[in-house]
Structures are given as structure tokens and as C-alpha cells.
Amino acid sequence: MRITRVLSAALLTLGLAAGPAAADSSPSPSASQDSGAPTEAGTSFRTATEIEQGQTATASASTGDYLYWSFPADAGQRPTVKATVKLPDTHATEAWQIDVYDGLRRRQSCQYGAQTRTAAADAASVELTCVLRTVRAWSEPWADDPLPGTYYLRLTAVDVPTSDLGLPVDAEVRVDSKDIGGAAAVDGALAAPLVPGAGVLSQGDEEESTKEALLASLEPSDGWSSGWWSDRWVWTAFGGVLAALAGIGGYALTRGSGRPSRVPPGA
């Protein structure tokens, strides 16, 4: 009976603990995210157009232009960047490419996906995909791991004949993320996300703090480092409960009846 009560209490505790994890992993409606999506792109890192994850941003440009967007990514997320370029009716064979940079403007490699594709002369569009590595909450200074903060998406034609330069194109980009959870958890966190600043905007008296203009103002819907809770906590607690139950069960099996056996007189 005692073991049964302990097991029931342990299962109830795990159920309560798993509740917040399930609530955090539930996706928000995409309809609200798509409202007010940008319809233009920047031409440099400093003028990159901000987009939220789940939004589909569009832009009209010319072949040969560099198009920039920026988006926030938090720890535990694995962002997937997709881009579609609608080409003019008449064009030569040309190649398009997407590159992703972090807040320090370090180029991040794609884990997999078609980062560069060549469009044939009769192709109406070209689609590109880049799946980044999982964003880590902390990393060694010498490492090139993705860290929480602002990320930049650059779209451009990398191999285009001179005759096609300046032809009108329509671009469409979208960023989605998969929450990896406790499998990507590390023992550490950054003091602040890598959000680039444009420098001092204004400075008051000595008692006032220096204000800084940010080049990127978007952040995850529930704030930075919102993924402090992960299923890693659930599995750790579950392992501790199993170890405790194993100890209680072993003690119950080896202690016997608890009373010393009677020894016959004169034995």
C-alpha cells in the first residue's frame, strides 16, 4: 500500500510538471502572425526589414539586388528559412542563394536544405531552403554555434548573366522554427541576446543610463530565454522518482517480515 501511494504521488507530480511544458510547446495561431507582414526588404544589414517567425514577407526587387530581412531566434529553436523567387517570363539561366547570419554577422551554415539553386531559362520560380543548427543558450567564445538573438537573411542572385541584371523579380520569405526541447539544453546562458545596436542615441546626466538605438527590436512572443523550461526537467524528475521507487522496492523485498524468528529452547 505504501509503495502504491508513493507511485501515485510521483505520477501526479510528473503530470503537474509536464503541464507547463505542453503549454509552452503549443503553437500560436498563424493567422495573427501573418497580419501586417512586411512587403519590402532592406538593402543591407543596417536596413534589414524585421519579420516575425511564422510571417510570410514579400518584396519586389530587381535581379542583382541584395535583399535583407531579420528575425529573432531563441535558445532551443531550430529555424527553417524558406525563400521563393518569382522570375520574369524571359530570362537566362541564373543561380540564387540565401545566406543566414547571426547577431555578430557570422555566417551560419545550413544543416541541410537547398541553400543555392540554379533556375533554368524556362523556370517561372526558384525555391530555396536553409535549416539552421539548433540555437544554443550558451557556447564557448571560440565556437561558431548559433546563439539567441537577431538573425539576418540575405537573398541574392550569385550567378546571373549581364543581360538579366535589372529584370524585375518578386521574392517571398518565411521563417519557422521547431522547438527541440531538452535535447538541446546546456548548462549556461548568455547575459543578453545578440541583438545589434546602432550606437548611443542620447546620453543624459551622469545619474542617467546611456540609451542605445537598436537595429532590431523584435523578440520572441514570450520574451528572450523563454525556453528555460524544457522536457529535460521532466526526464530528470522521472529518473529521480524511478530511483527512489527502486530503492523502496528493494528495501521492501529484502527486509523480510521484520520480526526475528523464534529459536526453540535448548537449541
Task: Profile the chain (267 residues) by mean pLDDT over runs of 10 residues.
Answer: 46 46 40 69 94 95 96 92 95 95 92 93 95 87 87 94 94 92 64 72 49 66 61 64 80 67 59
Domains of the chain, with CATH numbers? 37-185+193-215+230-235 (2.60.120.380)
Per the confidence metrics, is the pTM higher than 0.75? no
Q: What per-residue confidence (pLDDT) applies to 16?
A: 44
If you ran DSSP here, which 8-state letter would residue 76 be given? Answer: T
Q: What per-residue confidence (pLDDT) applies to 48?
A: 95
If you ran DSSP here, which 8-state letter would residue 106 be given? Answer: P
Q: What per-residue confidence (pLDDT) applies to 263?
A: 58
Query: Among residues 210, 213, 164, 184, which one has the least CA distance to residue 63?
Result: 164
Query: Among residues 38, 160, 154, 34, which one has the least CA distance to residue 87?
Result: 160
Give the C-alpha separation, 241 to 9, whole Å: 10
